[in-house]
């Protein structure tokens, strides 16, 4: 097995990378790679910590992309192409996808994968890995597929927020982030940024409402995920409007113009380079 050493880096608010100590995550990823006999090419944080609005009790959602030895792929049978494990009393959630699965999902413009490739918290990247994947992500981006991804994600929990005097800040931010991602696709026709602050600052929004959301971020950073906050009807209406506008145009958006053959070349590159 070829094992690529881990190099931790965290991107701070200034956009500069700084070293950080994440010994527990390092140890668990190292042991997982050895026990599963895989090479981890990329590992990052997702969820609220990567989005930029974690609570004090938010768990760590680590997502990785890995590969097997070449012979593993030379089989007529379909093998398990995911790794899932919960550790440290469920505070550390590690999920991994095999490179072939990831490339298939990339071709479909999978929203979750597009986010992972943008994560500001990267625990490990094999040399040149993102240089291969990020241009492919841009080429595979499908506005229609990604729009429906965020519509489904946001609407799932949004109904629970409407008409309630108090709402869970966690659910409110999930709904708002998905709504802003929809608005980004609608107005910019490009991959939505994973960082919530970027969505908040760069999209058009009433300045008072934007300031209110920033205050909520500060509150969320101090409160447990179960915390209930008085509902703001204006913010709820804003979220609903974003979903309504997105739903009106979703079916008219374009799909991806990429070709499967382009991703086949990346697959072969991954097998031979690492």
Are 128 and 218 part of one and the same domain? no
Instruction: Map 47-104 to HEC letters.
Output: HHHHHCCCCCCCCEEEEEEEECCHHHHCCCCCCCCEEEEEECCCCEEEEEEEHHHHHH
When pLDDT is averaged across residues 43-57 and rounded to a whole number, the result is 93
- Between 24 and 274, residue with greater pLDDT: 274
Report in angstroms the alpha-carbon separations of 195 from 46, 78, 81, 199, 223: 10, 35, 28, 7, 20
Are 14 and 136 part of one and the same domain? yes
Residue 189, H or E segment:
none
Q: Is residue 77 part of a domain?
A: yes
Q: Is residue 167 part of a domain?
A: yes
Are 261 and 135 part of one and the same domain? yes
Are 150 and 137 part of one and the same domain? no
Q: What number of other Cβ atoms are within 10 A of residue 120's Cβ?
A: 21
Q: What's the DSSP call for residue 14?
A: T
State yes or no: pLDDT of 21 exceeds 60: no
pTM above 0.75, yes or no: yes
Are 105 and 213 part of one and the same domain? no
In 3D, which of 150, 181, 166 has the Cα closest to residue 233? Answer: 166
Are 181 and 115 part of one and the same domain? no
Q: Is residue 2 part of a domain?
A: no
Radius of gyration over every alpha carbon of the chain, rounded to an integer in angstroms: 19
- Name the 3-class secondary structure at 63: strand
CA angle 146, 151, 153 (to 5 degrees): 95
pLDDT at 22: 64
Enclosing domain of residue 246: 143-252
Token digits of residue 232: 């703001």
Q: Is residue 108 part of a domain?
A: yes
Instruction: List pLDDT tens digits, range 68-124.
Output: 999 999 998 889 999 999 986 678 899 999 999 999 999 999 999 999 999 999 999
CATH number of the domain encompassing residue 112 = 3.30.460.10
Instruction: List pLDDT tens digits, range 199-216.
Output: 999 999 999 999 999 999
Are 135 and 201 part of one and the same domain? no
With tokens 């768990």, the residue in question is 59
Q: Is residue 135 part of a domain?
A: yes
Which residues neighbour 42 within 8 Å (Cβ) at sequence distance 6 or greater? 64, 65, 116, 122, 124, 125, 126, 129, 130, 133
Are 240 and 169 part of one and the same domain? yes
Instruction: Give the whole-angstrom CA distance, residue 92 versus residue 86.
Output: 6
When pLDDT is averaged across residues 228-232 and rounded to a whole number, the result is 97
How many domains does the chain divide into?
2
Are 118 and 183 part of one and the same domain? no
Q: Are 235 and 178 in contact (CB under 8 A)?
A: no
Are 65 and 129 part of one and the same domain? yes
- Share of residues in the chain with pLDDT > 70 (%): 91
Q: Is residue 3 part of a domain?
A: no
Token digits of residue 107: 């071709």
Q: Is residue 174 part of a domain?
A: yes
Are 105 and 215 part of one and the same domain? no
Are 124 and 194 part of one and the same domain? no
């Amino acid at each position: 097995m070829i094992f690529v050493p881990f190099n931790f880096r965290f991107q701070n608010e200034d956009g500069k990378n700084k070293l950080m100590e994440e010994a527990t995550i390092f140890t668990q990823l190292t042991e997982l790679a050895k026990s599963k006999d895989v090479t981890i090419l990329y590992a990052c944080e997702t969820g609220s910590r990567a989005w930029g609005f974690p609570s004090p009790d938010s768990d760590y959602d680590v997502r990785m992309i890995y590969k097997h030895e070449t012979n593993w792929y030379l089989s007529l049978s379909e093998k398990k192409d995911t790794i899932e494990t919960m550790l440290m009393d469920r505070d550390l959630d590690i999920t991994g996808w095999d490179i072939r699965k990831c490339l298939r999902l990339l071709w479909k413009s999978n929203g979750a994968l597009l986010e992972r490739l943008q994560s500001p918290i990267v625990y490990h990247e094999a040399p040149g890995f993102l240089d291969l994947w990020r241009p492919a992500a841009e080429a595979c981006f499908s506005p229609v597929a990604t729009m429906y991804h965020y519509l489904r994600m946001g609407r799932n929990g949004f109904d629970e927020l409407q008409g309630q005097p108090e709402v869970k800040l966690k659910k409110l931010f999930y709904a708002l982030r998905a709504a802003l991602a929809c608005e980004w696709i609608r107005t910019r026709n490009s991959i939505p940024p994973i960082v919530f602050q970027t969505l908040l600052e760069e999209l058009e929004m009433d300045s008072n409402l934007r300031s209110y959301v920033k205050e909520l971020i500060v509150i969320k950073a101090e409160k447990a995920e179960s915390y209930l906050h008085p509902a703001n009807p204006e913010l709820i209406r804003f979220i609903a409007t974003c979903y309504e506008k997105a739903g009106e145009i979703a079916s008219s958006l374009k799909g991806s113009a990429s070709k499967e053959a382009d991703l086949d070349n990346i697959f072969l590159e991954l097998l031979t380079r690492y």
